Each structure stands twice: as structure tokens, then as C-alpha cells.
Amino acid sequence: MMVLERVKARHNVLKEGEEVEQVKEIVWNIRISSHRAWEEDEGKAVQWSRALSMAYEHRTSRPSFLNLFV
């Protein structure tokens, strides 16, 4: 499962009170994985970096009316 899919899936089950901490944890885990991938292969690090950017973009660009469904 791709990182972005995991972030989306995790986001769909979050409750309002825990949302901020859960998202911080997801981003932290992606960053750690990105650093590990950089040590192993620069190409993988680029993929992780793109996934992190996409996950952040998805998180911040969500229309506010969708907050009603969280």
C-alpha cells in the first residue's frame, strides 16, 4: 500500500480530538522512512519526499465542508 493511501485511510478513521496527534505521527514516520531510504537509495528518498508532499497537500487542501464527515 502506498504511503498516500495509508495516510488517506488513516485520516478517514480519525476522530476530531485525536486528529492532530495522529497526523503528526504519520508525518514523523514518513520522515524517518525518508531518511532511511536516502541512506539506501537516493531514488527511493525522492519517492518518499514526493509522497510526503502529496500527503501534506491532501491534508491541507481538503475543503472545510468535509470536516463534517470526519
- pLDDT tens digits, 24-67: 777 767 666 666 655 556 666 667 777 777 777 666 555 555 55
Cα distances from 62 to residues 14, 28, 35, 69, in angstroms, run 15, 20, 27, 12
- Confirm if 26 and 55 have CB atoms less than 8 A apart: yes
Question: What's residue 49's pLDDT?
Answer: 73
